């Protein structure tokens, strides 16, 4: 098994991870960036972004992240894609040192394993992002990828002139429903509350679109179909009635869960599993920083993720150079 030593390991190459990488490069740190998938993060599946400063015209999530990847190349930053970190631990010798001599706060060293490689690092930035939540109702597991999707940008074109449903009422759900109207002849928006949570500008666009029909105060009870989704069973919460509706596809946007598996036994998290940090992106364990959607932040946007990464790298540099 190969062994790599570095001062800083950045896990995740989405907006937060690449923001951190740029600032780590400017600080001339010895660092490594890895991601279990391709660089860019989940935002590459978003059809358009209209609120990232400097882009007056809408830009796709893929194009925005490609611009950031190209910016990283300017600083000779190498991104190891499809490099999954399978385990993370703290070197036992360093734990014992801190426990037996409180005055000698010898820095931790972290052991990361993955891709037949051991990475020994003095500091970590966890920028692993989040993943879509599921409904966990009857028929869902069997029909994911067979009519149930979590990415309209990826799969929307498959539903030209067909009827689809979007589950959720937040910004992403409404934005993706609007995107689907380019292909589908009918888009149902199903939301458990009696009003949407999306910002008003998106709500207004959806209300004005004659291809969209709202099924509010409603939840999905069941997905049905033989080999492919054919029908959803909906529970009308106001009238306490169930009914079936024929659809060809469903897109779920019911929230996110943090990708916290690597550190869930190591650092403190909130009740929803998001990593708790201070304003410097420091976690409860010295040497581990968190940035982006994986941490307990009040706003999860590309702009805030990039900013988190910049802060995390800045304070990782200070930590490594004993400035803190």
Cite the active site residues.
151, 154-155
CA distance 152 to 118: 37
The most distant pair of C-alpha atoms in the chain lies apart, rounded to whole Å, by 69
Q: How far is CA 206 from CA 47, 53, 85, 213, 305, in A?
A: 16, 24, 41, 9, 27
CA distance 162 to 155: 13
**Which residues make beta-bridge pairs with 32?**
9
Task: Let me know: does 13 contact 130? Beta carbons within 8 Å.
Answer: no
Task: Let me know: does 321 contact 29? Beta carbons within 8 Å.
Answer: no
CA distance 69 to 51: 19
Closest by CA to 124, choosing from 275, 323, 304, is 275
């Amino acid at each position: 098994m190969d062994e790599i030593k570095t001062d800083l390991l950045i896990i995740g190459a989405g907006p937060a991870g690449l923001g951190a990488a740029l600032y780590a490069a400017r600080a001339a740190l010895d660092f490594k960036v890895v991601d279990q998938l391709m660089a860019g993060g989940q935002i590459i599946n978003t059809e358009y972004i209209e609120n990232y400063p400097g882009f007056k015209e809408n830009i796709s999530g893929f194009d925005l992240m490609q611009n950031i990847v190209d910016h990283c190349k300017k600083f000779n930053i190498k991104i190891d894609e499809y490099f999954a970190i399978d385990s993370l631990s703290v070197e036992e010798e360093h734990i014992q040192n801190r426990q037996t001599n409180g005055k000698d706060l010898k820095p931790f060293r972290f052991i990361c394993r993955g891709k037949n490689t051991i990475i020994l690092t003095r500091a970590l930035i966890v920028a692993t992002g989040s993943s879509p939540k599921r409904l966990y109702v009857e028929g869902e597991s069997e029909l994911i990828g067979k009519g149930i999707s979590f990415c309209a940008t990826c799969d929307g074109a498959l539903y030209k002139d067909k009827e689809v449903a979007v589950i959720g009422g937040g910004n992403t759900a409404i934005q993706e429903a609007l995107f689907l109207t380019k292909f589908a002849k009918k888009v149902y928006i199903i939301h458990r509350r009696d009003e949407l949570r999306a910002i008003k500008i998106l709500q207004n666009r959806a209300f004005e679109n004659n291809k969209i029909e709202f099924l509010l105060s409603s939840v999905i009870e069941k997905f049905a179909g033989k080999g492919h989704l054919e029908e959803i069973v909906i529970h009308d919460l106001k009238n306490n009635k169930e009914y079936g509706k024929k659809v060809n596809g469903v897109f779920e946007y019911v929230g996110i869960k943090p990708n916290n598996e690597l550190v869930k036994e190591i650092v403190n998290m909130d009740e929803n599993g998001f990593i708790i940090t201070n304003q410097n992106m420091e976690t409860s364990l010295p040497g581990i920083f968190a940035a982006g959607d994986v941490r307990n932040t009040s706003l999860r946007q590309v702009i805030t993720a990039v900013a988190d990464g910049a802060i995390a790298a800045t304070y990782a540099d200070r930590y490594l150079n004993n400035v803190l």
